[in-house]
Amino acid sequence: MSLSAGNLGGVRAISGPLVFDSVPEVYAATKEWFTGSGELVLDLAAVTQVDSAGLGLVIEWLRLARASGRALKFVNMPAQMQVLVSVNGLQDILFKATAT
């Protein structure tokens, strides 16, 4: 498993799988991003696989952003994740949160 959580021009990029086995590592690598102020943009284009644990992490990121008073925007959400969002009825929560 490989994870990249880097900062590209003010946009944080996530790559690799967001699945049960990787979520704890990804969470540990990203939770500090939610301190500070201003909009936080997470680019999910390079996410290779998603399951319900990955969707749970996305919801946790949203909770962390709200708790710290930061706006959060997801860009390039993979189709597999969009399906999970839709099947679980989370469109209003995630897509309204990311509207510009």
Q: What average pLDDT does range 37-44 have in this prediction? A: 89
Mean pLDDT of all residues in 73-80:
91
User: How buried is residue 53: exposed, middle or buried, by Cβ count under 10 Å (0-12/13-18/19+)?
Assistant: middle
Return the exposure string of 61-86: e unless at least 16 CB atoms fall within 10 Å of the residue's CB, then b: bbebbeeeebebebeebbebbeebbe
User: What's the pLDDT at 85?
Assistant: 85
Tokens of 52: 């319900």
Q: Which domains does the chain have, with CATH numbers?
A: 4-97 (3.30.750.24)
What does the pLDDT read at residue 49?
95
- Is the entire prediction scored with pTM above 0.75? yes
**Cα gap 74→45, rounded to integer Å:** 10
